[in-house]
Amino acid sequence: MAFRTERPLRFGDCDPSGIAYFPSYLNILVGVLEDFFASLGFPWKTMIDDRRLGVPTVRLDLTFSSPGFQGDTLEFALHVRGVGRSSLDLEHEISANGKLLWSAKHRVVSTSLDTHQSLAWPEDIRAALTSHLETADAHHPAT
């Protein structure tokens, strides 16, 4: 039950040759993650301002397979692979025109914005994340 969304690859996301500049991919990925949480009913503004909860990235492993080009429509598939006490393991597949461009293994952690320490997922958020859980990755179990 992957979360799917699309994003355009814009002129400002590319180098002078029109090929995607990889730091732009990371910026776009943050927006996809933000949209995923919003789709679960937990917009980041509410999580940050009202609940004082952050979700920083603690690990990100990227594999680039093919170049993306200015004007491509990036197709994102976000898979929940593990929900730990405070961690969330995700896998991303990003394609354009039916071709895999890059993939990522991604861990974020729930943290208190007041203490900057890890914090167990609140039960309502845990339940929503768990409802999207697919197959656990034995090599990178959630903590």
29 lies in a domain?
Answer: yes
Structural domain including 48 reads 3-130
Backbone angles phi, psi at 32, to 5 degrees: -65, -45
Specify the pLDDT at position 141: 45
138 lies in a domain?
Answer: no
Residue segments in the chain with a per-residue pLDDT below the cut of 50: 136-143
Integer Cα distance of 12 and 19 in angstroms: 10
Q: Under a CB-based contact definition with an 8 Å cutoff, are residues 47 and 129 in contact?
A: no
Q: Give the torsion through C-alpha atoms of 103, 47, 88, 92, to 10 deg.
A: -10
pTM: 0.90
Tokens in use for 32? 């996809």
CATH code, domain with 86 = 3.10.129.10
Q: How long, in residues, is the chain? A: 143
User: What is the domain count for the chain?
Assistant: 1
Tokens in use for 34? 């933000």
- The tens digit of pLDDT for each residue in 8-31 reads 999 999 999 999 999 999 999 999
